[in-house]
Chain A
Amino acid sequence: MSKTRPLARVIAGAAGLACAGAMLAGPAGAAVPAHTHGHNAATALSGSGPIALPTISAVTFAGKTADRSLLQLPANDLVSAKALHSTAKSASARSAVADILVKKLDLSAHAVVAKCVNGKGTVDLVSAVAHGEKLAVSPNPNSGVKVGLGTLGTATLTLNKQVRAADGSLTVTAIEAQVPIAGKTQTISISKATCAKHEGSKPGPSEPGKPTKPAPTEEPSQPAPQPPSNNGNQAPAPKPINHDLPVTG
């Protein structure tokens, strides 16, 4: 599925993003836990780019099952959602968001779910509609929906985005929206799950039998079937360089 459509209304959201980000950074942002290590992890909502969006319901498996929920996003002009829940277990991760509405992108869904089990990812989009068009319940990996923004460029929705890291772990994002803003790209990720692949299992997308749809504007990484060939070499400790760089104090 790859369609380009004008969508002037999406732009009107750009100015609201900053305020929305600030609003979201309140109680929901404060609930973000450390998300620093371990392969199995999940995040209900996150963003990056010129607008700092907080990460919502982020968990990482660190020896025991991790769960985090947020009943409802604080009111804001950018996105509304309920029951944002993430869980990370020893062999799996799952994230789900209910009744989400990204007003300025005309994107809505009753439920958006990303699951990652033993290095394989699946996505469920329940009653998902983007700019008037119903989205597949189980979209193929890395399906792209392009939305024309006139002179500003093109926004991209990547459905069931699957990225495999060098260590074999997989990150599946149910919906990733990329919107050009002032020459940069704002990303909004809805329901993301990361899990490691157990020994003996074969890496690859969750639906290998189906053709991959047209790629989004920013191509995800490809699977890494072989570990990096560092030959076991340990990187050395650095030798401090006598040099001055003014840093942000």
Chain B
Amino acid sequence: MTRSATGAAAVVVAAVALLASGCGSDDAQKASPGSGPGAVDTAHLPQATTYGTVKGAPADPAPNAAQNGTVLHVTKDAMVYDKPDGKPIATLPAQQLKGPTWVPVIAQQSGWRQVLLPSRPNGTSGWLKDDPSLKAAASSYRISVDLAKHKVTVTNGGRTAGTWKVAVGTKKNPTPTGRTFVLAALSPTHPTYSKLIFPLGAHSNSLDKFGGGPGTVALHGWPDSSIFGHDVSHGCVRLPQKALSVLARIPLGSPVQIS
């Protein structure tokens, strides 16, 4: 069957309509010279950070599955591949937001580990080749965010370390679901609403940028308790200030499940 010109037009209209609807992210995809067929220019690969998009990266194969808590400390810039022995798609720098890089392992096979990446789109993953500069460790912490119940629960070794009523994203700018991880622990220079902010490896699906940032979703405190139990944020999860002391103990790379 040959697609008709009418069908082709419908394709374009549909694609444009989707972007205009706000359902998708219309962030400009910076072309990577190495992403096309043929030769790969690794010198110009994108960096896998919260600021960028990694084209050609495999999606998280099981976004609702539990993670086993294996985290990988990237002590030296690492090449990211689309599959074991596959094509380089990005570099994973040894620093994220001026801190160390820790990412969660979601699968592995001989000599390779698949990790979640902090870049857009949500659920972006990549494969890292085993190397002495990659240090594996275990995190016994799990963070679960129940959007419908407006509840965050932190467990440590299966035991509840804390559970709080929280505020989440609005219907217009919802908190994205799926599994992600704690990307960083930041102490703002001039804290206004929270003395600690924990960016996740996830981004708003409705906002390409926010407040000058790349739309990164985070866990952080909030001084006004009246908002807890409501959908009020632009995607971040606002917690009581007392939760920060628990969050501060959670290793980077630890699993976060948002449902």
**Interface positions of A (Cβ within 8 A of B):** 5-9, 11-15, 17-18, 21, 30, 32-39, 41, 43, 46, 48-52, 55, 58, 149-152, 163-167, 169, 171, 181-185, 187, 192, 194, 218-224, 226, 228-249
Contacts and interface: CB of A to CB of B under 8 A. Distances in A.
Nearest to A196: B66
B165 to A, nearest CB: 14
A238 B252 contact: yes
A37 B137 contact: no
B10 A248 contact: no
Nearest to A232: B138
B210 A247 contact: yes
A232 B62 CA distance: 25
A248 B234 contact: yes
B121 interface: yes
Contacts of A221: 61, 106-107, 109, 114
Q: Which of A9, A49, A166, A185 has the most CB of B within 10 A?
A: A166
A51 to B, nearest CB: 6
A182 B109 contact: no
A247 to B, nearest CB: 4
Given A17-B18, A228-B108, A230-B137, A248 B173 contact: yes
22 contacts: A8-B4, A15-B10, A34-B148, A37-B142, A51-B18, A58-B64, A163-B61, A165-B107, A166-B68, A167-B66, A181-B24, A184-B24, A221-B109, A226-B108, A229-B136, A230-B138, A235-B253, A236-B137, A240-B196, A245-B97, A248-B216, A249-B211
Contact of A240 (B137, B142, B185, B204): B185
A43 B178 CA distance: 13
Contacts of A164: 107
B66 A247 contact: no
Nearest to A50: B24
B47 interface: no
A163 B107 contact: yes
A184 B26 CA distance: 10
A166 B252 contact: no
Given A46-B64, A163-B62, A220-B61, A248 B215 contact: yes
